Amino acid sequence: MKNNLSERSINIIMSIFSGISFLVCLYFFTLFETWLGKVLSVLSFLILCWIFMKALDKFFHENKD
């Protein structure tokens, strides 16, 4: 039961974080009018998602026992 609750809370946190990251990326995408700014905003979104996934992976491996 505890594991199911933990997975559910992690899913909620992941969805909130991905929504916020998407909105930040969208803001920067509209802020920068050049193609370089648009590429950088998409790259920053992907890097944020990658960092968050690494943190979640580390969290799950530490709390597996």
Q: Which amino acid is at 5?
A: L
Both tokens assigned to 16: 């909130």
Best CA proximity match to 31, nearest among 22, 21, 17, 41: 41
- Per-residue confidence of the chain (65 residues) as pLDDT tens digits? 455 557 777 777 777 877 787 777 777 777 777 777 778 777 877 887 787 777 777 766 666 65
Predicted TM-score of the model (pTM) = 0.51
The domain locations on the chain are 2-62
pLDDT (0 to 100) of residue 9 = 75
The alpha carbon of residue 27 and the mean position of all alpha carbons in its chain are separated, in whole angstroms, by: 16
pLDDT (0 to 100) of residue 1 = 47
